[in-house]
Amino acid sequence: MQPLHHTTEADEFITIVGADISEITREYHAQGLAERQYAIVHQAGKHRFTRVIDHKGESLFDGAALIAATFRRRASA
């Protein structure tokens, strides 16, 4: 069995961003992520997002801090 923190290139990740955890939970269920074997990677928390293009950072969501939760589906062994 692999340690929980170990990932492979074949693992898939989905991050859901929202104003609060209830929005994220609703979207998790709406996308059927539990049925598709996605589990939360770490606790959800406030994040500020920056996208980097051509070595330049750009604030996303007008710089607002939003709640983000990342879910992973492990690759089949």
Residue 9 predicted with pLDDT over 90: no
Q: How far apart are CA 24 and CA 10, in angstroms?
A: 24
**pLDDT at residue 6, rounded to an integer:** 61
Query: What confidence category does residue 3 fall into, taking pLDDT thresholds of 50, 70 and 90?
Result: very low
- Long-range interactions of 47-51: CB distance < 8 A, separation 24+: 47/17, 49/17
Does pTM surpass 0.85? Answer: no
Q: What is the pLDDT of residues 18-28, one digit of tens each?
A: 999 999 999 99
Contact assessment for residue 61 and residue 12, using Cβ atoms and an 8 Å cutoff: no
Q: What is the pLDDT of residues 54-73, one digit of tens each?
A: 999 999 999 999 999 999 99
Q: List the domain boundaries for the chain.
A: 12-73
**pLDDT at residue 2, rounded to an integer:** 46
